[in-house]
């Protein structure tokens, strides 16, 4: 039968906070996404929304189990690389809207003239930015800095090249920008940064905002327009420049979201972990000898009067506890705990069941 017992104060024990509980950032416990774990939906990429962002799935979207892992968005300070939506004669192009949206979210002074800056000594400003935003359910409280890695691979008519990106959390405690923790995105492997052979300085590729689940990459560097004039293609390659060869066109769509998707897919490696603080509360559920000795299970009784099916249970019913429900003051079910095996209960037996609730 259904019965409720109110907890006494001593029945509830607040546990300590378990910090830095990490888990894989991708669905299904996958520690990384390879070439076979990066998919797009043709419905989404052919829609008007694709001019603003691309959804990236862990499986073919035709699979009912497929889930969005992250989104790719390309922003341009002046709106180049995209065209106004159909029917509009003025306003923000998609790339300018994206740049403005992330500027408002990430930069402390989000005025229209403000540009993203990199963490290098020159405070390099960026007209173009690439944003990778993780699905909120994937990174939980924050991305586990120092435990993610992204390989990008691009090719042009002049060369093909790949770069592996990490953060600099092994070298610095990070900074705070607009109330959010920030680390630099640099090239490297594991927790070991790469350095520029000419200057012995880190190669800065962007910034990571772990609490927001956002990688903000220097689009001037990732999607720059390589040329065969001035510095040679080999020289540009040596500086790890221009993976996507974006044209930076005015009034024309450069399809940078698509190119970035293929740079990730071609790189064949995107790993990461989620980090969260878990609070635990212990509830001591006490089933005294006089309570919880009956059940609403129809096999327990017989006849129109509801007599006990087995005469041997008259005065001595035998039932089993298999589930504990935690309710709020309005008798609304908030949590359910399952016992590993049913627990015998009768008038001669008492039970104390400890329920641990993590949240």
What is the pLDDT, as a whole number, of residue 345? 87
Residue 235, both tokens: 């020289």
Cα end-to-end span (Å), the chain:
29
What is the pLDDT averaged over residues 239-244? 50
Whether residue 240 is predicted with pLDDT greater than 70 in this model: the reply is no
Whether residue 358 is predicted with pLDDT greater than 90 in this model: the reply is no
- The partner residues of 327 in beta bridges, in order of sequence, read 333
307 — pLDDT class (breaks 50, 70, 90): low
Residue closest to 146 by CA, chosen among 162, 166, 164, 131: 166
What is the pLDDT averaged over residues 35-64? 92
3-state DSSP assignment of residue 13: strand
**Number of neighbours of residue 345 by Cβ within 10 angstroms:** 21
What is the pLDDT, as a whole number, of residue 293? 77
Please, is 180 exposed, middle or buried when counting C-beta atoms within 10 Å of its C-beta (0-12, 13-18, 19+)? Answer: middle
Instruction: Specify the DSSP class assigned to residue 8.
Output: P
* Residue 102 contacts residue 87 (beta carbons within 8 Å): no
Per residue in 269-280, pLDDT tens? 999 999 988 778
Identify which has the larger pLDDT, 76 or 5. 76
* Residue 38 contacts residue 270 (beta carbons within 8 Å): yes
Instruction: Specify the DSSP class assigned to residue 249.
Output: -
* Residue 165 contacts residue 132 (beta carbons within 8 Å): no
What is the spatial distance between Cα 216 and Cα 116, in angstroms, rounded to a whole number?
A: 9
Whether residue 34 is predicted with pLDDT greater than 60 in this model: the reply is yes
What is the spatial distance between Cα 23 and Cα 29, in angstroms, rounded to a whole number?
A: 8
Per residue in 188-233, pLDDT tens? 888 888 877 655 688 899 999 999 999 999 988 887 654 444 445 4
What is the pLDDT averaged over residues 16-32? 83
Q: DSSP H helical segments within 74-125, as ranges?
A: 94-106
* Residue 45 contacts residue 258 (beta carbons within 8 Å): yes
* Residue 272 contacts residue 186 (beta carbons within 8 Å): no
94 — pLDDT class (breaks 50, 70, 90): very high
* Residue 34 contacts residue 268 (beta carbons within 8 Å): yes
Whether residue 19 is predicted with pLDDT greater than 80 in this model: the reply is no
Q: Which residue has the tokens 């939906």?
A: 41
What is the pLDDT, as a whole number, of residue 76? 93
């Amino acid at each position: 039968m259904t019965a409720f017992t109110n907890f006494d104060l001593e029945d509830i024990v607040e546990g300590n906070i378990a910090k830095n509980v990490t888990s894989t950032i991708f669905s299904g416990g996958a520690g990384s996404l390879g070439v076979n774990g990066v998919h797009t939906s043709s419905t989404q990429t052919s829609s008007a929304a694709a001019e603003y962002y691309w959804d990236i799935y862990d499986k073919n979207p035709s699979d009912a189990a497929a889930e969005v892992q992250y989104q790719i968005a390309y922003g341009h300070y002046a709106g180049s690389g995209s065209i106004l939506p159909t029917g509009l004669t003025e306003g923000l192009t998609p790339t300018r809207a994206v740049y403005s949206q992330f500027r408002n979210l990430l930069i402390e002074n989000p005025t229209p003239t403000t540009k993203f800056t990199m963490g290098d000594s020159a405070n390099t400003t960026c007209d173009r930015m690439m944003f990778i935003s993780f699905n909120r359910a994937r990174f939980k409280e924050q991305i586990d800095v120092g435990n993610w890695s992204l390989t990008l691979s691009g090719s042009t008519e002049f060369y093909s090249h790949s770069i592996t990106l990490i953060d600099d959390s092994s070298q610095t405690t990070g900074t705070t920008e607009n109330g959010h923790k920030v680390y630099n995105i640099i090239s490297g492997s594991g927790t070991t940064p790469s350095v520029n052979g000419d200057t012995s300085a880190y190669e800065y590729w962007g910034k990571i905002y772990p609490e927001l689940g956002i990688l903000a990459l220097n689009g001037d560097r990732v999607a720059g327009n390589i040329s065969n004039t001035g510095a040679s293609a080999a020289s540009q390659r040596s500086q790890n420049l221009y993976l996507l060869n974006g044209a930076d066109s005015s009034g024309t769509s450069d399809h940078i979201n698509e190119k970035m998707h293929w740079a990730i897919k071609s790189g064949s490696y995107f790993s990461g972990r989620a980090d969260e603080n878990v609070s635990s509360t212990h509830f001591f559920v006490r089933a005294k000898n006089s309570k919880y000795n009956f059940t609403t299970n129809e096999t327990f009784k017989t006849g129109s009067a509801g007599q006990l099916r087995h005469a041997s249970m008259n005065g001595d019913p035998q039932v089993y506890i298999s589930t504990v429900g935690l309710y709020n003051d309005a008798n609304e079910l908030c949590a359910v705990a399952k016992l590993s095996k049913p627990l015998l209960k009768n008038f001669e037996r008492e039970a104390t069941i400890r329920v641990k609730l993590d949240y």
